[in-house]
Amino acid sequence: MDSLRIAFWLWVVLVLLLSPVWAVSASASSQSGLSPDLPTLVQGNGKGSSNSNKGGNSGGSNSKNSDNPGPSPNSNANPNPSSARQPRSYMGQVTLNAGGQIISGNVRIQSNSPWLSLAIPGMWLEANGVWEGEVFVATEVKLHSPTPWAFYQGPGSLVGAWQYPFVSAWLSNNRSDPFMALQTASEQAQVRVVAYFDGSKFRALPASFPVPPGLKPGWYELLGAVGAQGLVWSSVRQFP
């Protein structure tokens, strides 16, 4: 019996001595799922950051590098909206005139100027106004053409377009190719002409068109009708 008691107490003492070792071992094994060697991300104050994982923000990340922020999503917007209303100048070649909509390149021109309705592809348009988004709203419009021209609206027979009863025609001074542009028009009670008078004749108009007396050089709008005596003007005024 004595030997059994001595063995029992030796076993108890041994257990008490080894229990701290088991506790330490268990504590260490419970942390085995962590990765202490992962890179550490340090968030700075906006002036830069330290990131040992240099590929961490690559790909589809929308975060910016504060040292090189790049363009803002609104970088194309005007930082000062009021500046968009400041007077501007624009000059470009007309590419389309459809239903009063004037397009020059990728710019749409709007204006109450009578000149705008006379613009046709190939002419150069000079304008003063303001930008409203993608539209240039012009308060003043000038047209420039490489060749002298005149606008005519009336019977096609008066300008050599015999196949059409009524036309809107942009005439040039080239007698072999007189039409810069030609469109059919609805029947009208009067003839309308916009042309430049150079002091002796109207540029680009047929020689048969009468010249009112007392005109000074400049652009004119003439309204008239065809009767027994031919074309007779009823109104002559400076244009616009």
- Asked if residue 110 lies in contact with residue 101, where contact means CB atoms within 8 angstroms, the answer is no
DSSP classification of residue 216? P
Whether 190 is covered by a domain: the verdict is yes
Q: Are residues 140 and 153 in the same domain?
A: no
- Number of domains within the chain: 2
Full domain range(s) for residue 182: 149-238
Please, how many CA atoms are within 13 Å of residue 105, restricted to the half-sphere of its CB? 10
Specify whether 158 is located in the same domain as 128.
Answer: no
pLDDT band at 9 (very low <50, low <70, confident <90, very high): low
31 domain-assigned: no
Residue 220, judged by CB atoms within 10 A of its CB (0-12, 13-18, 19+), counts as: buried
Q: What is the pLDDT of residues 169-208, one digit of tens each?
A: 999 998 888 999 999 999 888 999 999 999 999 999 999 9
Among 144, 165, 187, residue at a domain's last position: 144
Alpha carbon separation from 28 to 15, 32, 71, 201 (Å, rounded): 20, 7, 50, 108
Tens of pLDDT along 196-240? 999 999 999 999 999 999 999 999 999 999 988 899 999 999 999
* Shared-domain flag, residues 159 and 219: yes
Q: Please state whether the predicted TM-score (pTM) of the whole model is above 0.85.
A: no
CATH code, domain with 93: 2.40.50.320
Q: Write down which residue in 113, 144, 175 finishes a domain.
A: 144
Whether residue 219 is found in the same domain as residue 157: yes
- In a domain, residue 41? The reply is no
**Same domain? 125 vs 162:** no
